[in-house]
Amino acid sequence: MQFSVLISVYINDNPLFLKMALESVYDQQILKPNEIVIVIDGDINKDNLDIILEFKSRAPVKIVKLKINSGLGTALHYGLKECSYEYVFRMDADDISISNRFLKQIEFFKRNPSVDILGGTIEEFKDNIGDLSVFRKVPKSHKEINNFLKWRSPFNHVTVGFKKSSILKCGSFLSMISFEDYYLWFRALKSGCITHNLEDVLVFVRGSDDMIGRRHGFTYYKRELKFFSIAYRERLIGLGNYFYFVMRAQLRLVPKFLLVKLYNRLLRN
């Protein structure tokens, strides 16, 4: 079963983290991808470009270059079109996939050909893998995922693998700053995609209070309200869910230290 990996890189990505991310999806994998599609989202620094070109010299890399920085949703939209295979796996430019990630997910897809989207658990780390012992688990079965969707995103985006045809059918990735993946999951479930999450940790994610801080403040608050207003207008959520999300969005305006405590209590296990 052949598959692609889809990664977007932009100017603020850390070169060392990018190098580790790329090595983790190819050099260190038991089951290696047949293709790695790297979308360069606008201009990037020379260090990152050199890393990508060196990696391309020894791995099956396809580079997609966007003239200007267009954001993650748009970058993935164009990148997915360039993926050659039906099964596509997401990866970010600063995380680390475990060495048997693709083996586990491909084996599951083989046993469950009706599944369109498959994710799993992430483990957060700060400086070294295992230093936080913090996990973000997500609902496992399709029914649980469908119910969870009404309240929070049911997938850890960076762990997800999916059928290209199913994602294109529901409109693919679209521009929705900070909510590109959640917007896709709403549309995918509505279109009839079958989903599942593995309990296994599939990706190590760099986590810190700074990461939580990026989801804090008036700018993020406005983005969240915009997203859920669009979701309501497109009938992806009902009125009750819309009011719930509007009330929840107020948390973006509380002092940062309180938001960190709430995140640690409610989302991290």
Using CA atoms, how far apart are residues 179 and 227, in angstroms rounded to an integer?
7
Residues 95 and 116 grouped into a single domain: yes
Question: Is the Cβ–Cβ distance between 224 and 178 less than 8 Å?
Answer: yes
What CA–CA distances, in Å, run from 266 to 33, 41, 45, 135, 253? 35, 33, 37, 12, 17
Q: Is 71 left (phi over 0), alpha (psi -120 to 50) or beta?
A: left
Using CA atoms, how far apart are residues 147 and 191, in angstroms rounded to an integer?
15
Residues 155 and 260 grouped into a single domain: no
Query: Nearest Cα to 226, choosing from 189, 167, 188, 180?
Result: 180
Residues 131 and 185 grouped into a single domain: yes
Q: What are the residues facing 96 on neighbouring strands?
A: 204
pLDDT tens per residue, range 202-230 = 999 997 555 555 666 788 888 889 999 99
**What's the CATH number where 176 sits?**
3.90.550.10
Task: Flag whether 43 is in a domain.
Answer: yes
Residues 129 and 171 grouped into a single domain: yes
pTM summary value: 0.91
Domain count across the chain? 2
Residues 202 and 245 grouped into a single domain: no
pLDDT tens per residue, range 112-134 = 999 999 999 999 998 899 888 88
> 234 lies in which domain range?
218-266
Task: Flag whether 111 is in a domain.
Answer: yes
Residues 145 and 56 grouped into a single domain: yes
> Kindly report the CA angle at 153 between 116 and 100, in degrees rounded to 5?
55
Task: Flag whether 213 is in a domain.
Answer: no
Residues 106 and 16 grouped into a single domain: yes
Query: Nearest Cα to 117, choosing from 162, 80, 172, 173?
Result: 162
